[in-house]
């Protein structure tokens, strides 16, 4: 997951470099008179990595526009916290200042996707981000062992 503008810019550069490298490698393999199947087998792993990087870049761009993925039963809540910071254009340093902690703490928390965060700490984080959340229990009943809860950030 791309977490800041520096990582984003680096990823965009790497994406452009990978595309150029793929073109050059494909041209070189054609010059060696390899079959289309052989060329595909050689280029597929590089293409796969490029597509993964492209997906990360597009995901970061969606976050900057404020488009978030839905979370269910608190799975992905840490990624949502990172996404909320990114969408508001707040740096890790600025968030750390708002929380009264060192920037390295925010960096560590985001790298671990806020694993094991307490509800109190999650509340402080949401306050620092200026986020108001709502929950909705969508299903509770004997057929379902775990209730489904959604959080909507506004």
Strand partners, 141: 144
Task: Please report, in tens digits, the pLDDT of each residue of the chain (154 residues total).
Answer: 898 999 999 999 999 999 999 999 999 999 999 899 999 999 999 899 999 999 999 999 998 998 888 887 788 899 999 999 999 999 999 999 999 999 999 999 999 999 999 999 999 999 999 998 887 777 766 655 555 555 666 5
Residue with the two structure tokens 């968030």: 95
How far is it, in rounded angstroms, from Cα 151 to Cα 94?
Answer: 24
Phi/psi at 57 (5° precision): -65, -45
pLDDT, residue 66, reads: 87
Helix (H, G, I), strand (E, B) or coil at 64: helix
pTM for the full predicted model: 0.71
Measured CA to CA, the distance from residue 53 to residue 58 in angstroms comes to: 9
Locus of tokens 């985001």: 110
d(CA 139, CA 127): 28
């Amino acid at each position: 997951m791309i977490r800041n503008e520096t990582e984003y810019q680096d990823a965009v550069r790497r994406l452009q470099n990978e595309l150029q490298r793929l073109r050059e490698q494909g041209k070189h393999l054609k010059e060696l008179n390899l079959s289309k199947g052989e060329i595909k087998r050689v280029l597929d792993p590089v293409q796969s990595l490029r597509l993964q990087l492209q997906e990360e870049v597009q995901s970061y761009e969606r976050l900057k526009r404020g488009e978030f993925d839905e979370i269910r039963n608190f799975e992905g809540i840490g990624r949502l916290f990172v996404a909320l910071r990114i969408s508001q254009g707040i740096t890790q340093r600025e968030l750390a200042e708002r929380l009264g902690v060192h920037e390295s703490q925010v960096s560590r928390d985001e790298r671990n996707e806020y694993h094991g965060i307490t509800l109190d700490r999650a509340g402080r984080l949401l306050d620092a981000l200026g986020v108001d959340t709502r929950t909705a229990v969508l299903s509770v009943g004997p057929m379902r062992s775990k209730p489904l809860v959604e959080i909507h950030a506004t």
